[in-house]
Amino acid sequence: MIIGGTDTTFATMEWAMTELLRHPNKLRKVIEELDAIIGDQNVVEESNLPRLLYLDAVVKETFRIHPPVPLLVPHMPSETTVIAGYTIPKNSCIFFNVWAIQRDAEFWEDPLRFEPERFLKDTEKRNYTGNSFHFFPFGSGRRICVGIPLAEKIIMQILATLLHCFDWELPDGQQPDVKEKLRFVLTKAEPLVVVPVARLSNSIQYQ
């Protein structure tokens, strides 16, 4: 539970920040949305999160390209079955490669491109709490991750706060890379290093 609730959350936020810094135009849209909804004199509240539609799309696109658990938790069939012509023996250990599925050009246009806007066009089909079998970073069905509501709120709250309160600069103008390292959780091969710069006019908000 600790690994599932901390490492995956941290990895997703690091990937989201990485992708936004690699795509300044997307980052600018997030900032504009935060300024319009939160304003310069307020802090991010949980009640604001449902209105941050573009940031939500950024998080979903991050889940698509960089699923925190790319092979999900292994499954085991209780009886032998045949799926798509393949015999799956009883008690086999089954892994689902969502990393590959969510980058499949058959299901996604420009699958390797970071494009949050795709999640604003067809919200029903891009809902990972349903039965969409080309976007299921949390699994699906009866074995779907029980921590989805918590993960959504924590990731959205922290990202919104970081991006609302600070501008982020890369040391020496470096470009963050997207090299991956797989253990149980899919993380960056090299940690993201950025420098925060206060952007709000009211210093009291940082106390």
pLDDT digits (tens, 9 = 90+) for 57-104: 999 999 999 999 999 988 888 999 998 899 999 999 999 999 999 999
Select the more confidently predicted residue: 201 or 13: 13
- What backbone phi and psi angles, to 5 degrees, belong to 24? -55, -30
- Among all chains, which residue has been given the structure tokens 């103008």? 173
pTM comes to 0.92
* Burial label, 59 (beta-carbon count in 10 A; 0-12, 13-18, 19+): buried
Q: 195-198 and 180-182: which strand pairing?
A: unpaired
Q: Supply the DSSP symbol for 136.
A: -
Consult the annotation and say whether 145 binds a ligand: yes
pLDDT surpassing 80 at residue 125: no
- Among all chains, which residue has been given the structure tokens 């689902």? 96
Domains of the chain: 2-72+112-206 (1.10.630.10)
In whole angstroms, give the CA distance from residue 103 to residue 65.
Answer: 7
Inter-residue contact 37 to 61 (CB < 8 Å): no
